[in-house]
Amino acid sequence: MTSAKRRIVIDAGHGGHDPGAVGPRKLYEKDVVLDIALKVRKILMADPLNEVLLTRDKDVFIPLEERTSIANRKNADLFVSIHANASQNRQARGIETYLLNWTDDEEANKVAARENKISLKQMKAMNKQADTVEMILSDLNRENKRDESIKLANYIQRSMISNLDNDYKNISDHGVKQALFYVLFGAKMPSVLVEVSFISNPEEENRLSQDSYRQDIAKSIAAGLNTYVSSAPVIQKVAEFRHMSYSR
């Protein structure tokens, strides 16, 4: 077993003047995801091998590109951005985990457009810009980042579904998806974005307002991260080498 520490950056979406999605009962995405991020940090810190950094630990605005820059500057091993989903359709519900990639999936593009604060039309146009997409794809292929992000996304998604499905009714599994999220652009480490539930759905908004549900989500994300770390010997070695050279 390696004694390497892993540096995990948890990113609570939105903040400050950007409330994110707002539920029918006026619950703000920025408040929900900050609380979940703080809970994830607390759970992960119980393991002395985990070093956890938050992009924000209070209600402040941070530009999307700054969030990944923080993770890159800190030489993070993993980056997880936490969000709550929203749809015009109040019936829409469920959990999905994203990694950065090109897509022609309409629903995925709608989610990314909202998180990027651009129109769906602009989102679709971006997917057709050959140079942008090529840059992203070549970056993704470097150092198995794409494969590792898929693996990380799968562990987190599976952990959330299996844990929450035990205690809550109608947990809907949308699986692992991909889209062009600004917040994941240029991340040098495996990185994913989790949409923990739909704040636009009255029942899910009600759950998201409860401390116990947020705690269960945080536990599930942390468990998925821990499973990934213990099953990723290559990443651990990279981290070990990095920290060794740092401690000299």
Residue type, 25: R
- Under the rule (CB under 5 A), what is the footprint of Zn ion? 13, 20, 83, 115
Tell me which residue has its CB nearest to Zn ion. Answer: 83
Residue 231: CB minimum distance to Zn ion, A = 28
Residue 183: CB minimum distance to Zn ion, A = 9
Q: Which of 79, 80, 136, 81 minimizes the C-alpha distance to 103? A: 136
**CB nearer Zn ion, residue 116 or residue 220:** 116
SS3 of 188, please?
coil
Q: Which of 169, 190, 178, 192 minimizes the C-alpha distance to 235? A: 190
For 186, the token pair is 């240029």
**CB nearer Zn ion, residue 13 or residue 15:** 13
In b/e form, how buried is each residue of 29-54, taking b as 16+ CB within 10 angstroms? bbbbbbbbbbbbbebbeeeeebbbbb
Residue 13: CB minimum distance to Zn ion, A = 4
**CB nearer Zn ion, residue 6 or residue 56:** 56
SS3 of 7, please?
strand
Distance between CA atoms of 15 and 59, rounded to whole angstroms? 5
**CB nearer Zn ion, residue 115 or residue 148:** 115
Residue 119: CB minimum distance to Zn ion, A = 16
Q: Which of 162, 155, 181 minimizes the C-alpha distance to 81? A: 181
Residue 42: CB minimum distance to Zn ion, A = 22
**CB nearer Zn ion, residue 83 or residue 174:** 83
If you ran DSSP here, which 8-state letter would residue 190 be given? -
**CB nearer Zn ion, residue 60 or residue 234:** 60
Residue 131: CB minimum distance to Zn ion, A = 27
